[in-house]
Amino acid sequence: MSYIRNILNSRFKRNGNFFMELTKILGFKPKHIKFYKKAFTHRSMNIKDSEGNAINYERLEFLGDAMLSAVIALHLYQEVPSGDEGYLTKMRSKVVSREHLNELGKDLNLIKLVESKIPPGQFGDNIHGNLFEALVGAIFLDKGYKYCEKFIYKRVIIPYVDIETLEGKVISYKSLLIEWCQKEKKTFKYYVYEDTGNDEVRHFSVKLSIDDRVVAKARATSKKKAEEKASKRAFFAFQNRISKLI
């Protein structure tokens, strides 16, 4: 009996801690804790419901992404009456960029609530943004649109959405550079190759050429990161000519 009691007490303690931590993050008491449990369950747990459906945060992530986009879109629509469709779309993309969502997830330290068989140190950066989106999705299912909107205003819009700052923010230097090259009819090419350095982690190097002239070099742990890093360096080299596209 004492063994069973210990198990039950341990489970109660975990659930109690989860509820308290969650309430601090949300700013209100959750009604249906099951949605939030799911929002912090990683697929590595390999849990399924009675009908064989996977129980993890991925579907909630999809729902949260849609809610974030809707609330941010409405805010921008109301705040910038002179903005056309292209402007509003670009501004919304800056708010809900993967980089920004990852920052939000890190600020709230959401990863401490995750149930996973993978050690926290082995997750990539995107886990933070994924959890933030899943949390937004859980709020919507638990409390409805108004609570969801209130949370997004509190955690995203009020502290981070400043129109003037967003107008000067670059989401992807590579996309911006390619857009500029195409507009100016310049040829460009990324030469990516695996680095043969002595690092324990594999690195990739990249040379970026514009009009057959190497304008930037970079090195990173993935091809995508190396290209973005080189693009950022090239952007600052041509900043006066490219900045009007931001």
DSSP string covering 129-176, please? HHHHHHHHHHHHHHH-HHHHHHHHIIIIIHHH--HHHHHT--S-HHHH
The sheet that has 204-210: what strands, in order across it? 188-194, 204-210, 213-220
CATH code where residue 9 lies? 1.10.1520.10
Same domain, 184 and 234: yes
- Single out the residue in 118, 152, 167 at which a domain terminates: 167
Query: Any residues with CB less than 8 A from the CB of 173 and at least 6 apart, and which?
Result: 228, 231, 232, 234, 235
Same domain, 161 and 39: yes
Same domain, 110 and 184: no
What pTM did the predictor assign? Answer: 0.70
Same domain, 138 and 182: no
Rounded-to-integer distance, Cα 117 and Cα 124, Å: 15
Helix ranges (DSSP H) in the chain: 2-26, 33-39, 58-79, 85-95, 98-107, 126-143, 145-152, 158-160, 163-167, 173-183, 223-237, 239-242
Q: Which residues are catalytic?
A: 65, 133
Same domain, 133 and 19: yes
Nearest CA to 207 out of 196, 192, 194, 197 is that of 192
Same domain, 113 and 227: no
Tens digit of each residue's pLDDT (9 = 90 or more) over 8-61: 344 434 567 999 999 999 999 999 999 999 999 999 999 999 999 999 999 999
Least confident range from 35-39, 124-128, 159-163, 240-244: namely 240-244
The number of distinct structural domains making up the chain is 2
Same domain, 154 and 63: yes
Rounded-to-integer distance, Cα 163 and Cα 203, Å: 37
Tens digit of each residue's pLDDT (9 = 90 or more) over 175-221: 888 888 998 999 999 998 887 666 667 888 999 999 999 999 998 88
Same domain, 146 and 108: yes
Tokens found for residue 210: 């514009």
Tens digit of each residue's pLDDT (9 = 90 or more) over 92-113: 988 998 889 999 999 999 999 9
Expressed as residue numbers, the domain containing 99 is: 2-167
Same domain, 134 and 179: no
- Single out the residue in 167, 201, 235 at which a domain terminates: 167
- Single out the residue in 167, 201, 222 at which a domain terminates: 167
